[in-house]
Chains A and B, each alone.
Chain A
Amino acid sequence: MTTVSETATSPHSAMAGDAAPMVSIRGVSKSFGTNEVLRDIDLTVNKSEVVCLIGPSGSGKSTLLRCVNFLEVYDRGEIRIEGKLVGYTEETPRRRLSNRDLRSLRRNVGMVFQQFNLWPHMTALENVAEALVQVRGMDKAAAGAHARRMLDRVGLAAKADSYPARLSGGQQQRVAIARVIAMEPHLMLFDEPTSALDPELVGEVLQVMRDLAADGMTMVVVTHEMGFAANVADKVAFLDHGRIAAFGTPREVFHESTEPRVQQFLQTYHERNSF
Chain B
Amino acid sequence: MANYHPSDELLMQFTAGQKHDALGVLVACHLESCSECRKRTQVFEQLGGELLDASKEVKFSNGFLDSLLNKLKDAPPKEVESSGDIRLPRPLRRFIPGYFDTLPWSGISRNIKEFTLPFSDERYTAKFYKIAAGKELPIHTHKGNEFTLVLSGQFSDEAGDYKEGDFILADTDTLHQPKASKDADCICFAVMDAPLKFTGFFGRMLNPFLR
Chains A and B are bound partners: no
**Residues in chain B within 8 A of chain A (CB atoms):** none
